[in-house]
């Protein structure tokens, strides 16, 4: 990662990996890890071959519940998942191996490094679900949603592509809408409150979201489209 970039994620590792998880990180991850050393631009089609006909990207997939559901539901879609938290990567790898899922590739680091390498107009859908809100004012600069990162998303999204964002932190929702309006590129796909208060049927609940709801926090689900 470019050391001049602000760090946008917290810890890299939690509890010690179990023996099986360590094996997955040593043996399976290298087969799925994206090689960012190859010359840019990175064409996602080269990662998946002819088995898929469209490509999605999830930024910060956590333990992988959402990514896994999407990969199982859309077998003809190649999904790139970015997550720097080692334990989360290990959890996803276990499910990919057990369920024999082959349409997922992983970057176990900063998503910005992938965005900077991807070919323009190469991704059809991007997910940023319940990112770290960095609530302290002095840490706001670490939030993923910035003008610079929105430009990154707009560059790699194909015309008509969709950017999905979710958060249970009202301030981060307002922050995101403000940055989207300021950028002036994305179209907010909402006609009324129900469009952001209710999760669409093709948007599975994550473990974090479930905990937020149980704690009494109401998530917002925002969908944006890059115009043709």
Q: Which of 2, 35, 43, 132 is catalytic?
A: 132
Name the residue with tokens 């998530």.
219
**Using CA atoms, how far apart are residues 222 and 198, in angstroms rounded to an integer?**
10
95, 72 contact by CB (below 8 A): no
Question: What six digits make up the tokens of 217?
Answer: 């926090």
Alpha helix (H) ranges present in the chain?
A: 19-23, 29-32, 45-48, 65-73, 86-98, 111-117, 147-156, 170-183, 194-197, 207-214
Which position has the token pair 């760090």?
7
35 is catalytic: no
Per-residue tokens: 93: 């790898």
Q: What are the residues facing 127 on neighbouring strands?
A: 58, 164
In the structure encoding, which two tokens stand for residue 223, read together? 């969908």
Residue for token digits 């070919």?
A: 119
| Cβ pair 227, 187 in contact under 8 A | yes
Q: Which residues are catalytic?
A: 132
């Amino acid at each position: 990662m470019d050391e001049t970039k602000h760090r946008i994620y917290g810890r890299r590792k939690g509890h010690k990996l179990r023996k099986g998880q360590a094996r997955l990180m040593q043996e399976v991850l290298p087969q799925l890890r994206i090689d960012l050393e190859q010359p840019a631009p990175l064409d996602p089609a080269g990662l998946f071959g002819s088995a898929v006909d469209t490509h999605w990207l999830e930024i910060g997939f956590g333990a992988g519940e959402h990514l896994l559901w999407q990969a199982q539901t859309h077998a003809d879609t190649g999904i790139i998942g970015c997550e720097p938290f080692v334990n989360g990567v290990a959890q996803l790898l276990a499910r990919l191996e057990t369920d024999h899922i082959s349409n997922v590739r992983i970057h176990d680091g900063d998503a910005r490094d992938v965005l900077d390498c991807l070919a323009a107009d190469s991704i059809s859908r991007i997910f940023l679900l319940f990112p770290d809100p960095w609530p302290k004012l002095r840490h706001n600069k670490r939030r993923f949603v910035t003008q610079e990162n929105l430009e990154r998303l707009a560059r790699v999204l194909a015309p008509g592509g969709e950017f999905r964002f979710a958060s249970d932190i009202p301030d981060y929702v307002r922050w995101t809408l403000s940055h989207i309006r300021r950028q002036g590129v994305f179209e907010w796909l909402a006609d009324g409150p129900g469009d952001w208060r209710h999760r669409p049927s093709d948007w599975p609940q994550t473990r974090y979201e479930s905990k937020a709801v149980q704690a009494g926090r109401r998530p917002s689900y925002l969908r944006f489209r890059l115009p043709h």
